[in-house]
Amino acid sequence: MHPTSLFIVSLLAIITAICTSKRKRSGVKQLRGPTVDSWLLGHDYAVQYQDQVGDLEYAWFREYGAAFRGAAPYGQSVLFLGDAKGLQHVLHGSGYRYPKTPDSDYNTNILFGKGIATVAGSVHQRHRKVMNPAFSAAQLRTFLSLFQRSAKKFSGKLIAIVDGGESSINIAPWLGKLTLDIIGTSAFGYEYGALDDENNKLANTLNNLFHDSELLLSRAAILFATLPRVLPKSLIQILDLIPSRRKKHFSNFKVAAQNAGREVLKENVEGNDLDSSTGKDVLSILARANAQEEEKKRLSDDEVLAQIATLTLAGHETTASTLTWTLFELCNHPAQQDRIRAEIAQVRSRYQTKGELTSADYDSMPFMNAVIKETLRFHPIVPSLLRSAACDDVIPLTDPVITSAGVKLTEISVEKGQLVDISIGYYNRNPTVWGSDADVWNPDRFLGELDKQTPLGVFANLLTFSAGVRSCIGWRFAVMELQVILFELLESFKFSFPKAGIDIKRKPAGIMIPVVGDEMSKGTQMPLRLIPSPIQY
């Protein structure tokens, strides 16, 4: 960060310190929690620089229980929450009473504009109601053949790379190209051309977006990024004047995504009769909503472009990341890779020819689906979400926690403004929910009967797609995409690591990204060896 900007940040930090010192203290202060070295930075710097995602937080949860007190920048306290009943209350039972924090709103607005990921309350309800039909199970089944064609094309690209003499490739960016093309064609009827390496500014801005903008933030960058939490609303606009690494990369993506969105609308919508259109694909729904005169059914031009940017990034990143970590685990567990290939052979044997499969065929593969669920559990792309209590509240707990005075609590009182860290990563490893082997990648847990659980996530009771009013609208899309691509890859290849002992790390960079330990400057990486091994029927 430029020295002038650093001075401005320091000055604003002093102002915020004065502002926050006058706020009342949260009832969370009675909880136990780790010591903090810096009032100004809280635990954020330590979490940012931990060796791997969760190293610190999971250890804290094990020591203090599924709810404990942590520290955020500028002296704010944060309730770290990984308890099933507590999370159910915050995400499901409270509606919009635990909104996103001002810094999250500020940064997602830079990234997307006023789309479904940014807005809240009645505006969010309007966006969600407009877009829900595009993500129904029936509508998603119409995308299946498109997913299959894209996966087959991707497989062909990989074979060409191997035939060209490269047996090892960094699979992460290639999976990103595939999922970008899929979201373009399925949601918007538009060819992004990422797999064909066309000169595409959008694909270029997405490549290493989070690595370049979020990995290993400096102390000043952390303070700047979190300022909107504590500044008066009237002062937040001052931050627009200060450049930052995050702002540069986020803005570049939004400009590229919205320019692509304008091309999408020009190519597919302009001149068409929207009144007679009944299509339930994303683009048709967005176009009709844009043409509506009734306010509660309408999306403005800016809102439509923001939805395109949001769905492009979210639809591309979640699936690509989960596939990357799935292949990582299957390289670590080659016997499990063979189990899926045996299941694929079984499914294919039902047919005389290699015809296209139905969604029911993919759903009929218990072990492949168990692997997908277990990877979503073990490697959530977004390990945590930050919320703020909009009013005083009481959060119930499944498992009591012990206060610093030795008192057992079955519920926690929080005051308006209390920060709550929704620990997706820890909930997905909470032994109360997932058993004593929760810290082990074990797909077989999904083949038996899990113990009775508090209903929480939208898929397999996982929190990876969040829950409640802000749960991921495209989770069904992502699961079907994962099924199709994983099936195609394991039907065509065997995967392994290019060398023994390769040090792949899960690094916090806004989202969780894979890097090679001694090559972090090279960006997101998952080097794998591909061996073309088509299954014989």
Starting at the edge strand that comes first in sequence, how are the strands of the sheet with 168-170 ordered? Answer: 168-170, 527-532, 493-496
Please name which of 2, 23, 137, 108 lies closest in space to residue 74, comparing C-alpha atoms: 23
pLDDT at position 295 is: 85
Q: Are 161 and 173 in contact (CB under 8 A)?
A: no
Render 478-529 in DSSP notation, one character per residue: HHHHHHHHHHHHHHHEEEE-SSTT--EEEEEESEEEEEETT-GGG-S--EEE
Taking only the tens place, the pLDDT of each residue in 202-246 is 999 999 999 999 999 999 999 999 999 998 888 888 899 899 999
- Checking if the pLDDT of 14 tops 70, the result is no
Identify the band that residue 501 occupies on the pLDDT scale cut at 50, 70 and 90: confident
The C-alpha atoms of residue 218 and residue 224 are separated, in whole angstroms, by: 10
Taking only the tens place, the pLDDT of each residue in 107-128 is 999 999 999 999 999 999 999 9
10 Å CB burial of residue 293 (0-12, 13-18, 19+) is exposed
Q: State the pairing for strand pair 67-71/77-81.
A: antiparallel
Which helix (H) or strand (E) segment holds residue 56: the answer is helix 55-64
Residue 371 carries which side chain, given as an amino acid letter? V
Tokens of residue 329, six digits: 């685990």
The C-alpha atoms of residue 5 and residue 218 are separated, in whole angstroms, by: 13
Taking only the tens place, the pLDDT of each residue in 464-480 is 999 999 999 999 999 99
Quote the Cα angle for 24-29-34, to 5°: 135
Please name which of 70, 65, 60, 61 lies closest in space to residue 28, comparing C-alpha atoms: 70
Cβ-Cβ contacts under 8 Å for 360 (sequence gap 6 or more) = none
* Inter-CA distances, 57 with 40, 62, 67, Å: 19, 9, 11
- Checking if the pLDDT of 43 tops 70, the result is yes
Q: Which residue has the higher pLDDT, 454 or 26?
A: 454
Mean pLDDT of the chain: 91
Is 472 marked as binding a ligand? yes
Q: Are 120 and 100 in contact (CB under 8 A)?
A: yes
Q: pTM here? A: 0.94
Paired residues of 509 in beta bridges = 511
- Checking if the pLDDT of 170 tops 60, the result is yes
What domains are there in the chain, each with its CATH number?
Answer: 3-532 (1.10.630.10)
Helices (H), 364-501: 366-378, 424-427, 431-434, 475-492
pLDDT at position 296 is: 85
pLDDT at position 15 is: 67
pLDDT at position 438 is: 96
Cβ-Cβ contacts under 8 Å for 107 (sequence gap 6 or more) = 225, 246, 250
Say how many Å lie between the first and final Cα of the chain, rounded: 59
Helices (H), 379-497: 424-427, 431-434, 475-492
pLDDT at position 197 is: 85
